[in-house]
Structure 1
Amino acid sequence: MSALSSPVTRRSILATAAAASAAGLVPAAFAATNDSASIKPFHFSATDKELKDLHQRVVATRWPDKETVKDHTQGVQLATIKKLADYWAKNYDWRKVEARLNALPQFVTEIDGVEIHFIHVKSKQENALPIIITHGWPGSIIEQMKIIAPLTDPTAHGGTASDAFHVVVPSIPGYGFSGKPTEPGWNPPRIAKAWAVLMDRLGYTQYVAQGGDWGNAISELMAVQQPPGLLGIHTNMAATVPADIAKALASGAPAPADLSPDEKHAYEQLDDFYKNGLGYAIEMNNRPQTLYGIVDSPIGLAAWMLDHDIRSYDMIARVFDGKPEGLTRDDILDNVTLYWLTNTAISSARLYWDNAHFPSGGFFDPRGIKIPVAVSAFPDEIYQAPQSWAEKAYPKLIHYNRPQKGGHFAAWEQPTVFTEELRESFRSLRT
């Protein structure tokens, strides 16, 4: 079956050989097949009609009144979103990123009744380490595009041959070019099982996993499930918050007096996020199907996606003010436009509902991972995980670093730093 049912043009070209069965790794529903057509190359091309319709909708936006405050406390500011709309209508070209995407080897394969899309770039280095890298919300495979070449071809990007990776970047079900689940229950543990099937189907007997945001939850749950072959994981949004700290945060109490400076900073970041930054998650946890407005209005979609966390929003606002940052205006609109063309605003939001109704633990609660874990704690993440918390959460912590710059979309914003973090993180696991 095909679940690629959005109003966009999608073509699968010539079938290639599939890999071995995943039988015995996970329940039968996830079993890989030996059918030579189980993995198919994928190509995407939006129609001119779709791009014209997008342009017309941006131009025809009905604007609200300006916010009544001088800051972002009421949400995405009118001046910022109008600058985004102006650039989207007059200067943005989707075809540029589409060409870059289609220059990468992309594939689809059905797992547990859903067609999974993924980028798969193999290194020329014989002893490259396979890695599966997972995005989050409001991200997509667009986040990882800048790190693929440095990871697969390290000698051309400041590394050595021994730093090479074979890179797999899947689209989460309901996101991007992956199929949209037609039943509830596609929560992080289920996706984690599907990723293990995918790596097995590709023939990888030893590999590592990486993720941030939902990608962290999925990668950590892979680590909990311990599929054969998973050597370790790397996270840029670690789940390390101790139970007593989580309880204090839930009560709205000030930071406990005995916290170290790093722990107090993390507490204050989390406290701010819980008080001011969870509006989008509350709605998607409870009523994702109600979000028809962001399916019908591209500007509504863009504003919804920009209002994820305040430090990312502030950075994006600076970008549209013309200031240099890790992201460009094109970067930001590449991601928003992908959501628009694939009509995945609501299907992606359902992941929050599925996680709430089929819970797998708190987002930042330690999960009892027993395999090696590496942590990169970027300063402008939702919270910068302290080393003391990381050491307690991950008994086999093999790498911890606090880069000087970067936020929630670290691979996208700081690809050079992020690449080096992955190289350093997994050196001890290479054979």
Structure 2
Amino acid sequence: MKTTWRKLLVLNCLFQAGRSSPSNRSNDYHLKPFHIDLSSKVPRMLAQIHGTELPDEPLYVNTGTAKGISLSDLKSLQHEWLTSFNWDREQHELNKIDHYTAQIEGMTIHFIHQKSKVPDAIPLLLLHGWPGSFLEFVPIINALTKKATTASGKKVSFDVIVPSLPGYAFSSTVPPIDWTISDTARVFDTLVTKVLGYKTYATFGTDWGAGIAYNLYDQFNTTVRAGHLAFLPFLPWTSEQLAAANITLSSPLEQYEQATAEEWTNSGSGYFVEQTTKPNTIGLALHDNPVGQLAWIGEKFLNWSDPNAGDAPSVLTHNEILRSVSLYYLTKSFASSVLTYTQNPSGFATEYTKAHTDAPLLFSAFKYNVGFWPEALVARVGNLVLYHNHESGGHFPGIDNPPALLSDLREIATYWAE
């Protein structure tokens, strides 16, 4: 009996050791833990912020958000950056999460790999977009690894993988030409299946991350066995297009979202044109300009999010915006991040096509997102099994409405079948 228990104990220890960190299945990928340490760069950043003078001309006062970030918002954020924001504190908290790097196709890929203690946890790849980063998912990572229950009563937990897109944060810059979101999808499938050794997994994406996630769902259909999106890599339809296809917006929420999406297309997408056609201009202009990056990126966080940002359930506070912009500036990744646009000029397609998979597709819509796709449209691109439309939240659901995104992601387990 003692021998049997001893064998069981040894096997259990080996099992737990194998789950404590990614296993080195191949030294070819140079997998290793990663520790964030950007503190030495902070004094120069703060000096530049302090030395940046903003105008006081009436031209920039009381303009609201229609013309971009307001002078008052920018000054307020600049003041908080200098007086209350603390990068060392943020870095300490971020290093409590399990970070790694791997070498894939000649690039360094940074990623979080937070494993559940539950043996049958579902591997879940979370993909950010621009101007986001892995920070978008930090509020929900640990909760996703815990055992929970879906609406149907099924038990669920996840092994969470959150990579930094190539050209973002701690991941290498991509080649200057001929690199698309399809290439990034291939690299991330390698990360999950070959570096980390999972046979199958689920994926979620928003913004450009939705394009990568959809590509994985479509093209890597033997390994990706569930897809979940909060954005589509297809251009939203106008009201006229919806009407022509007999798609009716029946609720006030949908009508509001449609109007907001059309207004954004008309007056909110100037940055998209700039970054698609002249990425060098904006990239070089703001590369070494922290307050400039704050204006350019901060405006998106403020204007693309729930008007009640910072009030529960949102955790999108000024501190969160400053943390995100600091990450861009301190990792010198602003200029490389905007290359995503010029390298993918057709990243949001006009023609809707069906994915080559029978895997379930889930979709989460949020009232204040910049794009809107009604359920009938989403059903055109995949095996749609769940569509949730939320009365709060915006373009960055992981920080704009974490409880809703967390709940929706857990529903993957309802339809999960390897």
TM-score (norm 2): 0.85
1:392 CA displacement? 2.8
| Residue 368 of structure 1: aligned partner | 354
Q: In the alignment, is the contact (CA less than 8 A) between 2:313 and 2:401 conserved in 1?
A: no
Q: In structure 2, how many angstroms separate the alpha carbons of the residues matched to 1:124 and 1:37? A: 25
- Unmatched 5+ residue regions in structure 2? 1-20
Residue 61 of structure 1 is matched in structure 2 by 52
Asked if 1:285 is matched to 2:273, the reply is no
Letter paired with 2:376: S
Please tell me whether residue 403 in structure 1 is matched to residue 390 in structure 2.
Answer: yes
Equivalences for residues 13-412 of structure 1 within 5 A: 17-19=23-25, 34-35=26-27, 38-48=30-40, 50-64=41-55, 65=57, 66-67=59-60, 70-155=63-148, 162-201=155-194, 202-239=196-233, 245=237, 259-261=248-250, 264-291=255-282, 292-308=284-300, 311-312=303-304, 315=307, 325-356=314-345, 359-362=346-349, 366-369=352-355, 370=357, 371-394=359-382, 396-412=383-399
CA displacement at 1:257 relative to structure 2: 9.6
Query: Residue 204 of structure 2 aligns to a residue in which SS?
Result: strand
**CA-to-aligned-CA distance 1:65-104 (integer Å, 9 cap, x gap):** 3426632222111000000000000110011221122111
TM-aligned CA distance change 1:76 to 1:159, over 3 Å: farther
**CA offset at residue 16 of structure 1?**
7.2
The CA deviation string for residues 135-177 of structure 1, in whole angstroms up to 9 with x for no partner, is 0100001101111111001359999892100000000000011
Structure-2 separation of matches of 1:70 and 1:37: 51
Q: Which amino acid aligns with 1:224?
A: D
Q: Tell me how far apart the structure 2 counterparts of residues 104 and 156 of structure 1 sit (CA, whole Å).
A: 24
Deviation at 1:233, TM superposition (A): 0.5
Segment drifting more, 382-391 vs 336-345: 382-391
Cα displacement (A) at 1:430: 4.3
Identity of aligned residues (%): 27
Q: What is the Cα-based RMSD across aligned positions, in Å?
A: 3.0
| One-letter amino acid of the structure 2 residue matched with residue 178 of structure 1 | S
TM score, norm. by length of structure 1: 0.82
1:45 is paired with a residue of what secondary structure?
A: coil
- Structure 1: segments with no counterpart, 5+ residues: 1-14, 20-33
Distance 1:314 1:16, change over 3 A: closer
Q: In structure 2, what is the Cα distance between the partners aligned to 1:259 and 1:248? A: 11
Instruction: Tell me if the contact between 2:305 and 2:393 (Cα under 8 Å) persists in the aligned partners.
Output: no
**How many residue pairs get matched?**
390
- Indicate conservation of the 8 Å contact 2:362/2:384, yes or no: yes
Q: Report the CA distance shift for 1:365/1:148 in structure 2 as closer, same or farther (over 3 A).
A: farther
User: Counterpart of 1:108 in 2: which secondary structure?
Assistant: strand
Check conservation: 1:17, 1:37, Cα contact below 8 A: no
Report the residue type matching 1:286 in the other structure: T
- Closer, same or farther: CA 78–178 of 1 in aligned 2, 3 Å: same
Which stretch shows the higher mean deviation, 161-170 or 34-43? 34-43
Q: Which residue of 2 aligns with 1:26?
A: none
Q: Distance in 2 between matches of 1:142 and 1:122?
A: 17
- Contact kept in structure 2, 1:216 and 1:235, CA below 8 Å: yes
Task: Name the stretch that deviates more: 148-157 or 286-295.
Answer: 148-157
CA contact (8 A) 1:188 1:217 kept: yes
Is 1:312–1:407's contact at 8 Å kept on the other side of the alignment? yes
Q: 1:185 to 1:85 in 2, by over 3 A?
A: same
CA distances 1:254-296 after superposition (whole Å, capped 9, x unpaired): 9999743456544422221111111111111011111223112
